[in-house]
Amino acid sequence: TKANIFYLQNDFENAINILEAALRIDPNFSLAIEMITASLIQLKDEQKLNSFLKDQKNKVEHPEKCKALFKLIHNNNGTELDLRKINIYKKPANSSLIAWDLYLHVHLGNYNLALDILEAGVKKRKGQFINFAHDPFLKPLHTQERFIALVENTSSRVLLSEEEDQKAKTSTRSKAGLSDKESDYFLKEMNQLLKEEKLYLNPELSLKDLSNQLDIHPNKLSWLINEKMGKNFNEYINRFRLETFKEKAIDPSNSHLTLLGLAYESGFNSKSVFNAFFKKMEGVTPGAWVKSHK
């Protein structure tokens, strides 16, 4: 999980360090192998990429596709690719851990086909597409209307389903209730954990993730946040993200970054969710708030 967070934040070197440690424990950890390959492509290190693919030649899922993707992204010498060799138009027999075919279509400029694949994968909630909004290989799609709509619609569905889930769980609070002493303990632990570990910077943080960290049942944690704090889970976590954004936004060293970029760095995963939550909490738009504090 920590490696994935580093990867999605474009900190590929730290991601590789963690993934290599995982491989020392389990040399056959397929996801770690695939993520190291992806990170080396992002780092533009062709020599290390080829060396790694050679060392792991019987374990890497699609070495030729990885090499082709590197050439598409980083080589501007007109190198022609043999698309028949990498076979991206044929439906694979098994699902890949990493969406190599999607990435190849994106960097070949096949945006409509890439978006067809992405939309279908997100709809089916396939693992490769869970963090698509922050996937570095999908940056060329960020200006495409279909991609923007997919990000906003997916975020809205997640918010809606989680809020409905909170209401259902709150209705069972009599069964999930904690004593005052237990409530105080978990509230203190939760706030301390979030502040020290900055878990809210993970845009995919869920109620279950937080409950696992605190060693408390998700139903009880849901009840605690609703009953004792008067908030749902999303609002509680987004308040931390909001304060982080405000700190970053008035920091002169961040003046070269966009407000949306700072929002993503603070843990928000959608422009529409960020703007709506900010306006709800502060009564003004992010831009107006920043302007009044500079």
Q: Does domain 2-143 have CATH number 1.25.40?
A: yes
Q: What digits encode the pLDDT tens for the residues 63-115?
A: 888 998 998 888 754 445 555 566 655 554 445 778 898 999 898 888 999 99
pLDDT at position 43 is 94
**Cβ atoms within 10 A of the Cβ of 117, count?**
18
pLDDT in tens, 134-159: 899 999 998 888 888 888 777 644 44
| 282 φ, ψ (degrees, to nearest 5) | -105, -15
Contacts of 282 (CB under 8 A, 6+ apart): 242, 289
Per-residue pLDDT at 120 exceeds 60: yes
CA dihedral of residues 272, 275, 277, 279 (deg, nearest 10):
-140
Q: What is the chain's alpha carbon radius of gyration, rounded to the nearest angstrom?
A: 21
> Which range is least confidently modeled, 14-23, 78-87, 253-262?
78-87
**Which residues make Cβ contacts (< 8 Å) with residue 240, sequence separation at least 6?**
194, 195, 200, 267
Which pTM does this prediction carry? Answer: 0.52
Tokens 């990867």 found at: 7
State how far the Cα of 262 lies from the Cα of 248, in Å rounded to an integer.
Answer: 7
Query: 161 falls in which pLDDT band (50, 70, 90)?
Result: very low
Instruction: Round to whole Å and give the CA distance between 183 and 59.
Output: 48
Euclidean distance between CA atoms 202 and 267, whole angstroms: 6
Label residue 230 exposed, middle or buried (CB < 10 Å: 0-12, 13-18, 19+). Answer: exposed
Q: Where is pLDDT greater, at 20 or 83?
A: 20
Residue 274 has pLDDT above 50, yes or no: yes
Q: How confident is the model at residue 127 (pLDDT cuts 50, 70, 90)?
A: confident
Domain boundaries, the chain: 2-143, 152-236, 237-292
Q: What is the mean predicted confidence (pLDDT) over 198-215?
A: 90
